[in-house]
Structure 1
């Protein structure tokens, strides 16, 4: 485990995790760096989202779908045996218990409803671990839309179960054979495809990345994680809020949604990245996929390849709001290795009867290490978002264990 930034006073400045500034900016990050052919499409999405988000009818329809289709609210589960062993009080926000098995459904149902409102008949998506692709295919089937999902050839091989689920739900899965054949390249291909399909298609980005308004819009659709957890912690904890709020970070949507519920509290926010994909921890300022943020780059400014055993963290950057939170000192970003994540997944399975996604296991690995190393004081209360379940990773784990 590597801690890449120091703690600072956890008092948020005014406006943290509110609406971005003009032109979709979070400090110096964000913006709308899109081809001319997509600028108008992004503007239409921005206007449609603002109008929909201010409409009680839209919000009510989404709330109903999240309740009756996705299974919200998800529970807050005390990890009793693991807490006793670690000397902290660990609570898990169980996004693995949603329909489709991860937090991705929250955002996708929102964007699918928005697409329908805009008169679009097809969803375009990218996916790494496959969970966003499954959620997109699910929402499309539910609402009578078509779905085209771009997925790196390497990820198709290691996430075969989710590929089958997408196709069974009626989605077209397009293999991406360029570059590293992982999430970055799938995102690039999806955006290129959208250029020629803006008239009838909506690009359903799966994380808090991309051109404005996507980082803000996706965070708002995922805010339900943090809002629910805030209310649950108020009922469960003597102090009302946890001492630490922890989530894994690839692009960063589950973390952004969780952090949004606690940004105005004294809770310390911790984003956990893969050692080989640490955009917030080791990235440099650059532009990729339509936004300005922190990305892994070589000395010539070229984006370098990320690596993670967790396909959903195999991304060479981080969402612009996370970069801003890092600069403010409001959130701390740390890294863990593949081996640490696998060990954490096994430990949760054997102490709590829960097999987590390897993405989520990164967050848990930091909690385990920090508790043992003193970075989490004894008796601390820790809320960790368990962003997804590990069914999809069984083949990978089987090869290693």
Structure 2
């Protein structure tokens, strides 16, 4: 277990062992060349997070560049509409670049520069990780290359434009389903071609060690802030803490602050797509099995041949057939529960929050909002739900307008 000298970090129950395992999930890559590079990355990560210069620089950038701490907001009109529990939002959508992804991208690019790398390579689904990494790379004067599925590029055109403006090299990926899994495969292949000069900067708590720990560590700022803020705002802790789960970085960040609080139920919300009784969903924790994907073990959706299955979600950032190993561990240990929300419920929540609170959420975040709206009705008015509003919906506006009648 690593020593953490600053106030943020993963809870002891969600730190990996020396083999990069969270219980039986996770693990280290077997590819010799990649294994060497990732061992160096892990060493660099463990060193840098205890350096006072790094801690001070992250604190400065969070405050003056990202705009942290992001506020807690009581969604009164939405709560009244739903009836029952009071719904609060952790406003990660107000961060610079519009989502939680900037939290780990700043750390990853600072680490790349410390290790003498001249380039960062990554995948993106909804484009928020790509935008955040391109932003951090532009800020720190380092080259950036982003791989994105062609299906997601069409859905998330505003983020494609942002990445181009920020100066990133954008690589369209048309293989397979042309979505997030294929983008990860493509980005890893590019990384192997330039492993000496580049660093792979993964966008969620997925992949082989040290990525789940590293991304989770940088995202834990969300939960630590939220716990303190909620106590200051309400005088108590929320009954439920809710976040969407694709790979699971925003949820892991939120859950991290509440791991010692047994009375706070941690709920991850994944995409049921067109329904769990159809093949068109990405409900990995609900319908998946234990397996391996892209160098690590987790719950995964498999096809009849035992390969990662094609998946579907209206939210590009959630259409991944695997999930972070921390979440797989939390599920088995019953430290968190996992529910699912359909595309239709997601769209309803998107419009409800927009119309009742003047907040246009990302489709990813709308899954968490939809679950909160549904479960609030089953709770009493003196109970509370804290939702991680992980991103704003600018990127989704044109897509949504094609799906709903105004």
Corresponding residue to 1:379 among 379, 382, 390: 382
- State the distance in 2 between where 1:132 and 1:32 align: 23
Corresponding residue to 1:315 among 316, 320, 323: 320
Write out per-residue CA displacement over residues 198-238 of structure 1, whole angstroms, 9 at most, x where no aligned residue. 11101110000011010011000000000110110110122
- State the distance in 1 between where 2:376 and 2:322 align: 27
Tell me the residue number matched to 2:194: 197
Tell me the residue number matched to 2:341: 336
Alignment map for 1:338-357 (pairs within 5 Å):
338-357=343-362
Write out per-residue CA displacement over residues 158-179 of structure 1, whole angstroms, 9 at most, x where no aligned residue. 1111101001000010000101
Tell me the residue number matched to 1:6: none
Write out per-residue CA displacement over residues 296-320 of structure 1, whole angstroms, 9 at most, x where no aligned residue. 0024311101100000001111100
> Does the 8 Å contact 1:33/1:287 carry over to 2?
no
Alignment map for 1:283-322 (pairs within 5 Å):
283-322=288-327
Write out per-residue CA displacement over residues 8-66 of structure 1, whole angstroms, 9 at most, x where no aligned residue. xxxxxx9322x211211111001013422200010011000000111122111111111
Tell me the residue number matched to 1:221: 218
Tell me the residue number matched to 1:128: 125
Write out per-residue CA displacement over residues 259-314 of structure 1, whole angstroms, 9 at most, x where no aligned residue. 00001112100000001111122211111122111110024311101100000001
CA-CA distance at 1:85 after TM superposition: 2.4
Corresponding residue to 1:113 among 104, 107, 110: 110
Tell me the residue number matched to 1:89: 86
**Runs ≥4 residues deviating over 3 A:** none
Tell me the residue number matched to 1:230: 227
> Does the 8 Å contact 2:86/2:376 carry over to 1?
no
- State the distance in 1 between where 2:290 and 2:305 align: 12
Tell me the residue number matched to 2:392: 389
- State the distance in 2 between where 1:55 and 1:291 align: 29
Corresponding residue to 2:59 among 57, 63, 75: 63
| TM-score of the two chains, using structure 1 as the length reference | 0.94
Tell me the residue number matched to 1:245: 241
> Does the 8 Å contact 2:376/2:385 carry over to 1?
no
> Does the 8 Å contact 2:216/2:253 carry over to 1?
yes
Gapped runs of 5+ residues in structure 2?
Answer: 1-10, 273-280
Aligned-partner SS, 2:213: helix
CA-CA distance at 1:368 after TM superposition: 1.1
- The range that moved more, 278-287 or 70-79, is 278-287
| TM-score of the two chains, using structure 2 as the length reference | 0.93
Corresponding residue to 1:145 among 132, 142, 145: 142
